[in-house]
Amino acid sequence: MSAPRVDRSLQGIGLCTLGYAFLALQDASIKWLVADYSVVSILFWRSLVVVLACLLAGRLRLVQRVWRSPSRRLLVVRGLLSLVAWLLYYTAARDLTLAEMTTLYFSAPIMVTVLAVVILKERASGWQWFTLVIGFVGVMIACRPSNMTEPLPIVLTLLAAMCWAFTYIQLRQVDDQTSVLEQMLITNGVFVICMMLALPWTHTPSPTSAWLGMLGAGLVGGIGQFLLFASFQRATAILLAPFEYTGLVWAFLLSNLVWGTLMDESLMIGAGLIAVSGTLAMIVGRHPAQDVVGAECSVTQPLYPATTDSELVGGAEGFGAQASLDPESVEHRGQQS
């Protein structure tokens, strides 16, 4: 009886690691594009791909559930806050390396602890404060204040992380019957609508290669999210927590391979401390309602909308994933769409 459980855990670790690799590819693609093209255009096409993928998987039933969701307004507000975070994050991408961006991004879970105490009046244990101090020291080392000549990109990235931390706190109020696909559709739908309104003032002419690159960023980002959700259904949050920080490894590798960036000691030490802080925080102070992934959605809810009977979501032409009467809940604390 124990062998299948071990196999599923190994599958979860593999899917989690691969998922963060795809999300690192998304960030690398967008970092490459923002040097020449509008962040608004990039986010529009990237989000449009995710919306279409959600509709392909959930079809009309997904749209109906989104419209009736009791958390609809909350998720729209959360989508707007996430949009601000992404705009800040990818604006900073013009001046920061991929490794620096990702390292500072992973400070968001650290900020959640502070916000939970301040806003939700939760009590943090001594161990939680200890892990918070470790993470704060890691962020300070990664920022390298003594060598910082252009602080604005770092400030923008930390502000983005703060916005994401606020979205994590908002997830405590999301109805537990709201599925992951519903959250993804609402969040990315907000992105598409807002970016569409801004396009006439921000659009920059793009050749076909750039346009395909934007669509590709959305595709790899969507695949990354889907792989993460699949991994959370196969392994516990505590088991997967350390592997979340493989995102830092992928970012370091891509930064070196694509841009030839050499990793200095301060960034590597800071990234290591942030990873240790996040992992310890998960182990010593885990609370199911705080389990989130990336910057866009909670995964304490079912992956797919509940159905009256078992069916293939998306059919043969879709993802072909089985959605049962009582979908298995998946829990994780986490990143990035």
pLDDT of residue 80: 93
Q: In the numeric block, which tokens belong to residue 313?
A: 């979501």
Q: In the numeric block, which tokens belong to residue 209?
A: 């290669």
pLDDT of residue 284: 67
Cβ(307)–Cβ(59) under 8 Å?
no
pLDDT of residue 159: 92
Burial of 151 (0-12, 13-18, 19+ CB in 10 A): exposed
Of 130, 124, 151, 129, the C-alpha closest to 140 is 151
Angle CA(121)–CA(119)–CA(173) in degrees, nearest 5? 100
Angle CA(211)–CA(217)–CA(221) in degrees, nearest 5? 155
Distance CA 91, CA 207 (A): 21
Tokens 């391979």 correspond to what residue? 257
Q: What are the backbone angles phi and psi of residue 124, rounded to the nearest 5°? A: -95, 140
Concatenated DSSP letters for 289-334? GG-EETTTEE-SS-SS---SS-EEETTTTTT-EEE-SSPPP-----
The interaxial angle of helices 98-105 and 151-170, nearest 10 deg, is 40
Q: What are the backbone angles phi and psi of residue 179, rounded to the nearest 5°? A: -75, 165
Cβ(262)–Cβ(38) under 8 Å?
no
Cβ(234)–Cβ(47) under 8 Å?
no
pLDDT of residue 326: 35
Distance CA 246, CA 257 (A): 16
Cβ(172)–Cβ(333) under 8 Å?
no
pTM above 0.85, yes or no: no
Distance CA 115, CA 109 (A): 10
Q: Quick check: helix, strand or coil at residue 122?
A: coil
pLDDT of residue 181: 80
Q: What are the backbone angles phi and psi of residue 282, rounded to the nearest 5°? A: -65, -45
Angle CA(76)–CA(79)–CA(80) in degrees, nearest 5? 95
pLDDT of residue 310: 35
Q: Which amino acid is at 184?
A: M
Give the start-end residues of each E strand in 106-264.
none
Ranges of residues in the chain whose predicted pLDDT is under 70:
1-7, 145-149, 171-173, 175-176, 237-238, 241, 282, 284-337
pLDDT of residue 297: 45
Distance CA 322, CA 139 (A): 41
